[in-house]
Amino acid sequence: MKNISALVVLLWTGLSLRAQHKLPDGSRTTMLEMTSRIADIDSSLQVKNYSLTQRIALLRQLHQIDQRYRDSLENGSRSASKQQFFTHKMVANDQANQVLFRKLVDTFGWPTQHKYGEQGTQIAWLIVWHAKPDYQKRYYPLMKQAYQQGLIRQDPSQIGERLKRFSK
């Protein structure tokens, strides 16, 4: 994560330096376009040795990242360039979150309320909800099984309905 954060800082630093040196029109836009496609979390993190406490903290971080640009889209600037930036960041973050969540589930199983609490299971549902249908299809059976066994409270039926619509 430090590498990505450093890269973003360097890119933003480069942006302000370039802006001061009067680069041709469009350079600032190009730099913003490049940084907008970088996720706020490093999806190459290795989670296999994470403790339960670390996994819960990671899920909370994924939730913050998930919501950051969605909130900006709803409540932020209405300028087209900022909306595009927020959208690109949201997509990049969703993809990184899904990679990390897949690692968590593949290693430790579906997050249950007993281990991860209500918030942890809600975050799991949200990550899957914000994914494309092929990702949802992969996790829907696990969610459904956990729900039927009373291990989570989040009813996966909305995701099931969405999958039905996309399969037609």
Domain with 27 in it: 1-38
pLDDT at 79: 82
Residues 25 and 104 in one domain: no
Residues 106 and 155 in one domain: yes
pLDDT at 36: 80
Dist. CA 63–CA 108, nearest whole Å: 18
Among 66, 61, 63, 56, CA closest to 116: 56
Tens of pLDDT along the chain (168 residues) come to 444 444 443 334 333 333 334 445 555 555 556 678 899 999 999 999 999 999 999 999 999 999 988 888 887 777 888 888 889 999 999 999 999 999 999 999 999 999 999 999 999 999 999 999 999 999 999 999 999 999 999 999 999 999 999 887
Structurally, the chain folds into a number of domains equal to 2
Residues 73 and 147 in one domain: yes
pLDDT at 1: 47
For residue 91, give both structure tokens. 């997509």
Q: How many helices, marked H, and strands, marked E, lie in the chain?
A: 7, 0
Residues 62 and 117 in one domain: yes
Residues 115 and 152 in one domain: yes
Q: Is 54 left (phi over 0), alpha (psi -120 to 50) or beta?
A: alpha
* C-alpha torsion 111→133→153→102, nearest 10: 0
Residues 56 and 89 in one domain: yes
Residues 1 and 19 in one domain: yes
Residues 90 and 154 in one domain: yes
Residues 72 and 8 in one domain: no
pLDDT at 4: 44
Residues 120 and 161 in one domain: yes
pLDDT at 106: 97
Dist. CA 120–CA 152, nearest whole Å: 10
Taking the model in full, what pTM does it have?
0.78
Residues 32 and 109 in one domain: no
Residues 27 and 109 in one domain: no
